[in-house]
Structure formats: structure tokens, C-alpha cells
Amino acid sequence: MAIVYQTYQRDEAERLLPLLKVGDPLRVVALHEGESITAAQFVAHVEHVAAQLPDATAAVNLCEDRYAFLVAFCAIALRGQANLLPPSRAPHAVEEVMAAYPGCHAVGDRSMEPAPHRYHVLPSLAVDAAVSPSVEWPFLPAMHNVAVGYTSGSTGAPRPNNKTWRSLHASTAGNLRMLQQVVGEHFTVVATVPPQHIYGIEMSILLPLLGHVQVHSGRPFFPADIATALADMPAPRVLVTTPVHLRALVESGVELPPLAAVLSATAPMPPELAAQAERRFGAPLLEVFGSTETCAFASRRVTVDDRWSLYHGVHLHPQPDGTQIEAPQLEAPAILADIVTLHDEGRRFELRGRHADLLEIAGKRASLGDLTRRLLAVPGVKDGVVFQLDEPDAIGVRRIAALAVAPELDEHAILDALRTSIDPVFLPRPLRLVESLPRNETGKLPRAALLDLLHVKCF
């Protein structure tokens, strides 16, 4: 096992970045099963797990407990391996990822049946009072590929994206700076999102490695469980969630302990939901903008401004079919599918839509995002989505379809309401009522699942 420690030589300082920011070894980084985990204890857990991992180039990290995921993530990285993060925990998704990395293994924090090939359950992560606070702080090669994240599949098949330690180090620093400007230097985090998702990794896994942040190891789902988890953590508290989870929390009526901020991503935040959440919980609702490919690079408070503020060091360059982005976490400039308008000398931007979402039919233009917002604005529609089908019709136009959750409406009533706000050429046909949309763990809608559901309803 090769674990690298700081040697303070100039050449190595340029090539290595810390696994954990050097500081008070007794500072708390996580609350795990009711126990406070210090930085020194965390390093001991990581090294213990790393020593037991088999030789390989990569490992699928299937840990559900957030602290176990963090320990496994760092142990895998210290062994010179990459964390493979499938788009879902479904057996077929895990198998597909493992097939693309021959010889890899899988790590989890509990028994699985059936279990993936070469599956290893983590040892106990109990607090050991004998752990000395005098520890050597591990370092990682900056350019080591520590993770492979997968896109959600909302625009097609999930695609892998490699993340170096330098890249995640830089993106975490940007997220930390953004949050500290709102809630202060010290804060705690409770998250409803899975740790395997890039948003979950950024906002509920890596923050304690660079800043004075401690995370709750659980993943509370029901509103009462979220309230309990928040009560377990000291103030100031940040709740990391999604619009789908937040809506359920707002509508539940459950009272929460005082919050310093609520953080949301993975889907556009409806302004009316943001306003309801701020009134209910007395805390600012912050939305972050990013992707699996780029990590987060902008934020806004939607109740105050619809424009996004770029993180430090991020620059956008609008192009006819998208936007070029330069960011500290990117090894080279990348192209976004998003169309933006820059403001304030490039420090802020307004989102105009995604190039792939732009529609042109009969010489008229619209965007799928705007059509979906109008569908959701119909009274009685609880959830919905507008999307374009793959195959063109008889005159060569790709039809627009929609799925809606509206228990008290019929399809004709929804279409009649839409006629008052959109051009008839953009009315979704077919529009089908469903009991629920096939959202994944972060609230996103995989395109394949939408097409399957529409096919079932149509035929």
C-alpha cells in the first residue's frame, strides 16, 4: 500500500495536495451513528480501510452512509485507485460500469444480495479513544484520477467524466468560499441527496476536507427524519437538497431547527417554491449551477435575483451554439450546452436555455425548459415535464410530448390551459397523465425512463 505524506520539499509541494486540510486534529468532521468523528479519527479510519483494499485500478463506491462513503472515497484514492460512481445503484447500472473497468472491485458499508463481483464490506468505523491526535496528514498527487462520475442520462445515455484530485480540490474550495460568504466560516451540513452524485459529493462529502465543516452521515428522506438529523447538528446548519425533496418538506408542515441556509441543485428551482421555503424556514434559499462535467461554478438566491454569480476565477464566453467555460477545476476550457447573456463585466450571467432544448417549428421558437415551466404553472399540475421525441412525424418534425401528474385534471383541461400561454404549434401531443414521474434519487428524469413511460401510456 502506497500512502503519501507531506515532506515539505518544494518540488513535492507543487505536485501534491492534502487529503485533509492541516489544522486542529480534534476538529469534528462528521457525526456518524451518534458519535463525533475528529480529523485524527478520520485519518485513522481511512488508513485502516486503505490497508485492506485489494490491488486494482478502480473501485465502485456503493456506501450509503455518508461518512462511510467519505472514508471509502479517500481510502480508494490513497491506494491509487479511482472511485467509480454509477448513475444509479441498480444492479444493471453497477454491472455496466464494472464491465468498463476490468479488474475493478466494489466497496460498500452493508451486505448486498445479490452482491457485485469482488464486493467488500467496510470494517467497523467505530470511534477509537486510543487514536493519537499526533497524525501525519496524507497527501495525494494532484493529477491522480480519484473519481469517475456519470451524467444522469436526462439527455441520453449516461457518460463518464474523470475527476482529478486537483479538480475536486479546486471545486471544493469554490463551494466553500460561496457558502462561507453566506453562513460564516464554521457550519454543519445535513443532506437529502445521495453521496454518489457529483452534487452530493461536492456539497456533503468533500467540504470537511478543506474547511471547518461537519456533515451528518445519514441521508434522511422523510420530513420528520430531516428535522431530527438537523436537530442532531450544531448551528449554523445548512440543508443540502433538491427541488423535489424541498417541495415535500415545505408541504409537510414539519418544523425544522433554525437554518442558516438551504442549498438546492439538480433541477431548476421554481421561484414560488423558493419563496415558500424561505418563509417557512427563515433562511436564504441558494441555488447552485453546474454539471457532472464542470462541477458547480455559479450560485444565486432566486428570490432576490434571477441572474447567476460566477465563482472566483470562472469565466464564460458565449458562442452561437453554447458557452465556453474556463474554471479553476477544469484542466482545459469546456463547452456548455447552455445559452447565456453576460452582465456586470462578465461576473454574472442570465440563463437563456440549453442549445439542445431550443425548438424551431414553423418558423417559431421556444424552449423545452420554458414549456415545462408553463406546464407546471397550470393550477392542479403537481409535477410534469415537456420533452421532444426522437423520431420525426410524417412531415419531418420531431413531436413534443408531455407527462403530467395532476390527479384532479384530465388531459383536455391541461391542454386548454396551455393554449392560453403558448403557441399552438408547441402544444405537447401526446400529453399523458401519470401517477408519478420516473425521477431518480436526485430528482432528475432519465430520458429513457420518460420514453418508456410515454410508450406504456400511448400503447
90-141 pLDDT, tens per residue?
Answer: 888 899 999 999 999 999 999 888 888 899 999 989 887 667 777 788 999 9
Indicate if the alpha-carbon torsion angle 364, 370, 372, 373 is positive or negative: negative
pTM for the full model?
0.82
Place of cell 418558423: 363
Cα–Cα dist 293/335, whole Å: 10
Amino acid residing at 439: R
Say what the pLDDT of residue 101 is. Answer: 94
| Grid cell of 261 as nine digits | 441556509
Cα–Cα dist 356/188, whole Å: 38
Q: Are residues 444 and 245 in contact, defined by beta-carbon separation less than 8 angstroms?
A: no
| pLDDT per residue of the chain (459 residues) written in tens, 0 to 9 | 444 444 333 343 458 999 988 778 999 999 999 999 999 999 999 999 999 999 999 999 999 999 999 999 999 999 999 999 988 888 888 999 999 999 999 999 998 888 888 999 999 898 876 677 777 889 999 999 999 998 765 555 678 899 999 999 999 999 999 999 999 999 999 999 989 889 999 999 999 999 999 999 999 999 999 999 999 999 999 999 998 899 999 999 999 999 999 999 988 888 889 999 999 999 999 999 999 899 999 999 999 999 999 999 999 999 888 899 999 999 999 999 888 999 999 999 998 877 666 776 766 677 788 888 889 889 999 899 998 887 665 445 678 899 999 999 999 999 999 998 888 888 898 899 999 998 877 778 888 888 888 875 543
What is the three-class DSSP state of 139? strand
Q: What is the greatest pairwise CA distance in the chain?
A: 75
| Grid cell of 11 as nine digits | 518540488
Cα–Cα dist 149/432, whole Å: 33
Cα–Cα dist 367/352, whole Å: 9
Say what the pLDDT of residue 392 is. Answer: 61
Residue 369: how many other CB atoms lie within 10 Å: 16
Q: What is the pLDDT of residues 191-237, one digit of tens each?
A: 999 898 899 999 999 999 999 999 999 999 999 999 999 999 999 99
Strand segments, DSSP code E, in 217-283 are 237-241, 261-264
Say what the pLDDT of residue 4 is. Answer: 44
Say what the pLDDT of residue 275 is. Answer: 96
Say what the pLDDT of residue 421 is. Answer: 86
Domains of the chain: 4-306 (3.40.50.12780), 362-458 (3.30.300.30)
Q: Is 60 buried (19+), middle (13-18) or exposed (0-12) by CB count in 10 A?
A: buried
| Grid cell of 455 as nine digits | 410508450
Cα–Cα dist 224/273, whole Å: 19
Q: Are residues 17 and 137 in contact, defined by beta-carbon separation less than 8 angstroms?
A: no
Say what the pLDDT of residue 5 is. Answer: 40
Cα–Cα dist 442/440, whole Å: 6
Q: Are residues 242 and 443 in contact, defined by beta-carbon separation less than 8 angstroms?
A: yes
